């Protein structure tokens, strides 16, 4: 067996310990004589799995009792429309546009009410997080929406926007559980789990209780799109992604056994520093993001156009880098088509040794091609 270092933006690397445990339990989960894949979602063993997953997540994030935890399906993209359908009471919301995912979410809001763009970093290809200390937020807004970590562009909100008392809703898909978070600062946090937490097909939502639609409001929201439906049924209104939730639960335990969110934050900071320090001193490569906005999870970089001035030569060099890296067991480094170049996603489960191997490879490539 030979494992690669997988820098995919998602679905992405998972902790090897978790995969091994799941493999060992594949045919017979804890003496049930069946795999979790084969198990009824109404069975006792599965109820224990989902209950334990929620308890461990609450523990990790220190989630207050007045927040509901939901395990949902439909991808993060389905939340884009559910959020305005559930929360737009005054039919107006503010969006901060820091990339494609925030933009897509804002587009869905227009199906329900008025979408106000509060700030945007599109003028510089989303390479920074705008100043959000004094945005044109008004009392008639139901919520302020952000994409907290921008997977494609490699930016992250290091300071949350001043929402002037309006509930903040955050897509944390690509930074979920990568650092401690003060849940009380949010009306809702949600994340597709396929980056930091588990296999694709589960979305975790953490929602402040008072924002959940009332009985009366629910009359106008289709059942499966209403958060109240899943709140009332503890995420078991219909068949959930049982196996996905089971793996998420294992990742929560892995995090708890490895120093919790403080522990993983320290490791993530160390890993990112190795890569950013190299980029800041490289003659061939350069990062694409303003330093103050850099993500610890997604690191886009390109061949420096000031050094390789011919665009065709630059593109060829980047393609060669990705191809050679793949041969060396460093895979999925091709950048998103809207940024070009390369992107290394270094989520929780990427070991430090993987980042060190990438930097060693980049050094060698630089020496050979400069």
Residues with catalytic annotation? 101, 171, 195
Q: Closer to ligand PMP at the Cβ: 74 or 329?
A: 74
- Closest CB 331 distance from ligand PMP, rounded Å: 17
Q: Closer to ligand PMP at the Cβ: 60 or 191?
A: 191
Residue 117 annotated in ligand binding: no
Residue 98 annotated in ligand binding: no
- Closest CB 341 distance from ligand PMP, rounded Å: 18
Residue 76 annotated in ligand binding: yes
- Closest CB 10 distance from ligand PMP, rounded Å: 5
Cβ(97)–Cβ(124) below 8 Å: no
Three-state secondary structure readout of the chain: CCCCEECCCCCCCCCHHHHHHHHHCCCCCCCCCCCHHHCCCCCHHHHHHHHHHHHHHHHHHCCCCCEEEEEECCHHHHHHHHHHHHHCCCCEEEEEECCHHHHHHHHHHCCCCEEEEEEECHHHCCCCCCCCCCCCCCCCCCCEEEECEECCCCEECCCCCCCCCCCEEEECCCCCCCCCCCHHHCCEEEEECCCCCCCCCCEEEEEEHHHCCCHHHHCCCCHHHCHHHHHHCCCCCCCCCHHHHHHHHHHHHHHHHCCHHHHHHHHHHHHHHHHHHHHHHCCCEEECCCHHHECCCEEEEEECCCCCCCHHHHHHHHHHHHHHHHHCCEECCECCCCCCCEEEECCCCCCHHHHHHHHHHHHHHHHHHC
Q: Closer to ligand PMP at the Cβ: 199 or 278?
A: 199
Residue 265 annotated in ligand binding: no
Residue 254 annotated in ligand binding: no
Residue 214 annotated in ligand binding: no
Tokens of 205: 């939502």
Q: Rounded to whole angstroms, how far apart are CA atoms 91 and 102?
A: 18
Q: Closer to ligand PMP at the Cβ: 8 or 282?
A: 8
- Closest CB 288 distance from ligand PMP, rounded Å: 17
- Closest CB 9 distance from ligand PMP, rounded Å: 6
- Closest CB 161 distance from ligand PMP, rounded Å: 16
Give the binding site for ligand PMP (CB under 6 A).
10, 75-77, 101, 147, 151, 171, 173-174, 192
Q: Closer to ligand PMP at the Cβ: 77 or 324?
A: 77
- In the annotated binding site for pyridoxal 5'-phosphate, the residues are 76-77, 101, 151, 171, 194, 238-239
């Amino acid at each position: 067996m030979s494992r690669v270092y997988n820098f995919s933006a998602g679905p992405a690397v998972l902790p090897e310990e978790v995969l091994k445990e799941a493999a060992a339990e594949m045919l017979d989960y804890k003496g049930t004589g069946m795999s979790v894949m084969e198990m009824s979602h109404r069975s006792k063993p599965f109820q224990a799995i989902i209950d334990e997953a929620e308890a461990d997540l609450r523990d990790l994030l220190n989630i207050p009792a007045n927040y509901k935890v939901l395990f949902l399906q439909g991808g993060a993209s389905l939340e884009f429309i559910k959020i305005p359908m559930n929360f737009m009471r005054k039919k107006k919301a503010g969006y901060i546009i820091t990339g494609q995912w925030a933009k897509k979410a804002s587009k869905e809001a227009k199906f329900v009410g008025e979408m106000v763009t509060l700030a945007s970093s599109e003028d510089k290809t989303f390479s920074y997080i705008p100043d959000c200390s004094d945005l044109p937020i008004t009392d008639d807004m139901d919520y302020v929406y952000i994409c907290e970590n921008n997977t494609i562009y490699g930016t992250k909100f290091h300071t949350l926007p001043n929402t002037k008392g309006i509930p903040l809703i955050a897509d944390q898909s690509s930074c979920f559980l990568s650092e401690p978070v003060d849940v009380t600062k949010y009306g809702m946090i949600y994340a597709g789990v396929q980056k930091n937490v588990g296999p694709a097909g589960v979305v975790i939502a953490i929602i402040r209780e008072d924002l959940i639609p009332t009985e009366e409001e629910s009359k106008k929201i289709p059942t499966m799109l209403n958060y109240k439906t899943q709140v009332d049924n503890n995420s078991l209104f219909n068949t959930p992604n049982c196996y996905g939730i089971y793996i998420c639960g294992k990742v929560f335990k892995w995090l708890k056994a490895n120093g919790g969110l403080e522990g993983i934050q320290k490791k993530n900071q160390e890993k990112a520093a190795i890569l950013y320090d190299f980029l800041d001193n490289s003659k061939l490569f350069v990062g694409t993001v303003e330093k103050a906005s850099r993500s610890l999870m997604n690191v886009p970089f390109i061949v420096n156009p000031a050094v390789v001035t011919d665009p065709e030569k630059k593109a060829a060099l980047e393609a060669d880098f990705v191809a050679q890296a793949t041969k060396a067991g460093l895979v999925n480094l091709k950048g998103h088509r809207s940024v070009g170049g390369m992107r290394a996603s270094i989520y929780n489960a990427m070991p430090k040794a993987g980042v060190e191997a990438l930097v060693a490879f980049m050094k060698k490539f630089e020496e050979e091609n400069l």
